[in-house]
Amino acid sequence: MTSSPHGKSNSRVRHLVLHYTDDDLRGSLISLTGSQVSAHYLLSAPMPETGLPRVYPLVPEARRAWHAGVSQWGERSNLNDTSIGIEIVNAGPLALVPLPAGEQEDARAAVARRWSPSRDFAPWSEAQISALITLLKPIIARHGIKAVDVVGHSDIAPERKTDPGPRFPWQRLHEAGIGAWPRTSDVLCFQRQLASEGLPSQEVLLTALTHYGYPVDAARPELAIAAFQAHFRPGAISGAFDAESAAILLALNSRYRQSPGCQPT
């Protein structure tokens, strides 16, 4: 029996992962066309001759690229298998000062060091974000990628990564129809509820964070909390839940993960 080229099939793609290159265009192209890492697309900064970013297709969407590394989102691990990787030319943050030989760093210290404002994460230009939105919309449509599955590298690998960084405009993407964002009314409602009832236990909030998708290391949960805050509340990345970040998480799960909604008091 010969198989039909029109037999039943579906896309391998479930996730869209966004990265900064932490390099200029030349260095990014060298890295992404070498033997160690790759991505499906590279988006440049605005080009001097046109003032517009340029898209470099590097790996066909049907093929797996090597961009995610050790990673997890929800019940899926090794996201290279199920994702499209978008690398965006951006200088990233100032380099971390290496720890002294033999020195161990606890999770709270790691959060403070990795996400410190003193690292001066590079900004994003409006031209680059507009070009990114134009690139992403048809990819999402082709593969039926859900809003919650448009993520940053730090979301799926919070133990290792900080890209695309706290200055990346996730809300701007959501307003263009890309990715998840909580409803303001839900966040305010949950904040009022928490003010009345108190903050849930750490165990309850970490379960909610896992339910949304984040990989939480029980011994170092601060790193996953910090990655969540960098995505949805970048103005105050502490690695610890407070009323605002807890309300944002509850609002997200209510909107996207079929969790109970807020009960107005």
Catalytic residues: 87
* DSSP-based three-state secondary structure for 73: strand
d(CA 166, CA 169): 8
- Helix 243-256 crosses helix 184-197 at what angle (to 10 degrees)? 130
- Cα separation, 125 vs 168, in Å, equals 10
CB 202 within 8 A of CB 219: no
Write down the H helix ranges in 144-234. 153-156, 170-175, 184-197, 202-212, 221-232
Nearest-10 crossing angle of helices 107-114, 221-232: 30
Which residues have CB under 8 Å from 106's CB, separation 6+? none
CB-facing half-sphere around the CA of 201: CA atoms within 13 A:
3
Pairing outcome for strands 150-152 and 15-20: parallel
